[in-house]
Amino acid sequence: MMAFITRCWRKLCPPKPHSVWGASLRVLALAMLCNLGWWTGAWAQTAPSVELQGLRIERQEGALVLSGKWQYELSAPMQEALLKGIALHFVGEVDITRERWYFYDKRVARAERYMRLSYLPLTRRWRLNIANQPISVNGLGVILGQTYDSLEEATATMQRMTQWRIASQADIDADANHTLEMKFKLDLNQLPRPLQIGATGSNDWNLTFTKRMPLVVEPSR
């Protein structure tokens, strides 16, 4: 980086021994290039990664159920927002499509899981709400809620997927090939508007995962 800055400095401001203005210009150019290097380093921060582990799909009572685990860590800005009373919303999605040689693939099943993680300052506990539809501030819909002593415990529960019903067995054609698409994200649209502006495009808030794979149904245990 310093070698690059030095070359650019020499090209922008060739030495002029008898010019005070030239010396000042060189100092200003060097400062600008150093700032450019600093900002580039800041933008190059690695986004939080999401991994899918232990995926298993099996038949159970006329349905396909999914088990597995999302592996990720909340960034420091996410944790700081939680401690300040801002709830974070996460969305997990599963789409199953049937391949058709004569037309576009047809989506035959879809499942969604909505999670709301928040901090309760009065009790110093963490609350996790899980529902199969978007969670509103009014708490409408069927919502499973539980509190935890630590952020680690709440996050571990949120990451686990245990026998999640993703489709009816009748939706799957035994004679056709199917594709499974899994998605997971932090829903930035649920953040307060001022925070949305700062979070959009920031690696610290870019918690997303998308993967397509052939649908493989394991024998029931």
Q: Which amino acid is at 212?
A: R
pLDDT value of position 45 = 52
Domain assignments of the chain as residue spans, ordered by start:
2-43, 51-214
The pLDDT value recorded for residue 31 is: 40
DSSP letter for each residue of the chain: -HHHHHHHHHHHS---TT-HHHHHHHHHHHHHHHHHHHHHHHHTPPPPP-EEEEEEEEEETTEEEEEEEEE----HHHHHHHHTT--EEEEEEEEEEE--TTSS-EEEEEEEEEEEEEEETTTTEEEEEEESSPPPTT--S-EEEEEESSHHHHHHHHHEEEEEEEEEGGGS-TTS-EEEEEEEEE-GGGS-HHHHHHHTT-GGG--EEEEEEE--PBPP-
Tokens 């070359």 sit on residue: 7
Structure confidence at residue 39 (pLDDT): 32
Q: What is the mean pLDDT of each run of 10 residues along the chain (221 residues)?
A: 45 46 43 35 58 95 96 95 96 96 92 96 95 74 81 96 95 94 96 90 93 92 70
Q: What is the pTM of this model?
A: 0.75
Predicted pLDDT at 26: 47
Residue in the structure block whose two tokens are 């035994």: 174
